[in-house]
Amino acid sequence: MKFIRDRILSGELLFSIGAQLGSSLTVEMISNAGFDWTWIDCEHGTGDYSELVHQLQVARLGNAPAVVRICWNMPWLFKRVLDLGAAGIMVPYVNTAAEAEAAVEALRYQPEGVRGVAGSPPCTGFAQHFDQYFGQANHMLTLMAQIETVEAVENAASIAAVPGVDVLFVGPLDLSVSLGVAKDFRNPRFEACLDSVVESCRRHGKAPGILTPSLDFLPAWIDRGFTVFVVGSDSILLTRMLGDIQGRCASLKS
């Protein structure tokens, strides 16, 4: 198992591409391209558990550890994903410190949490490396709490203060909708929320993360203090590339 938590908490700039198509081939491409980590989206992505098995198999063999966004803050979802060998979990719509605490408990084994222990799932090398995995899982697995609402921003400091929360990861589209400024990512109210999240992370030694609507936002958001990024997804990048190729081909017809 490869992990990424130490690099996150050191403040290193880390970049990922999202795997939303449920394809293990995409995960392999992301790793081969040299990205730092892989974001597998099981909230809005099209893949299900059967696809996730193969995606995480590929991720474990590559050099871009996978953080899986589950669809909701439910303990049984953590267990299923972590047993397959995910290096971390991203939890959507974390609005309060209590919700963050519940996520940490679901991520961790006793006595720090409630994750059930199994001796032979893929994360343990099918029992060959159980002692090693069990001994380090509570300290090496990453938890990213998504900040996607006005309420979450207001509670950002208390969420960041929860032990075991590593990243406050802004979902920009949901946050802009919550603010009533949908897709206006340069709106002063939206930018003030970004600054509040970054400040909360700095105060409590956590890493601020965000998904970039386009690479145009990346320099400014790095300057703002963000360090953990998802900079695109297989679905959007492929769609844009196909549209560009189709447009060039169509231009030759005229």
User: SS in 3 state form for 34-81?
Assistant: CCCEEEEECCCCCCCHHHHHHHHHHHHHCCCCEEEECCCCCHHHHHHH
Q: CA 39, 45, 51, 55: dihedral to nearest 10 degrees? A: -10
Work out the widest C-alpha separation in the chain, in whole angstroms. 69
- Distance, CA of 14 to CA of 12 (rounded, Å): 6
- Distance, CA of 147 to CA of 250 (rounded, Å): 42
Active-site entry in 44, 54, 129, 139: 44
- Distance, CA of 53 to CA of 195 (rounded, Å): 37
- Residues in CB range of 118: below 8 A, 6 or more apart: 83, 124
Task: List residues bridging with 17 in a β-sheet.
Answer: 38
Identify whether 54 is a catalytic site residue: no
Give the active site residues.
Answer: 44
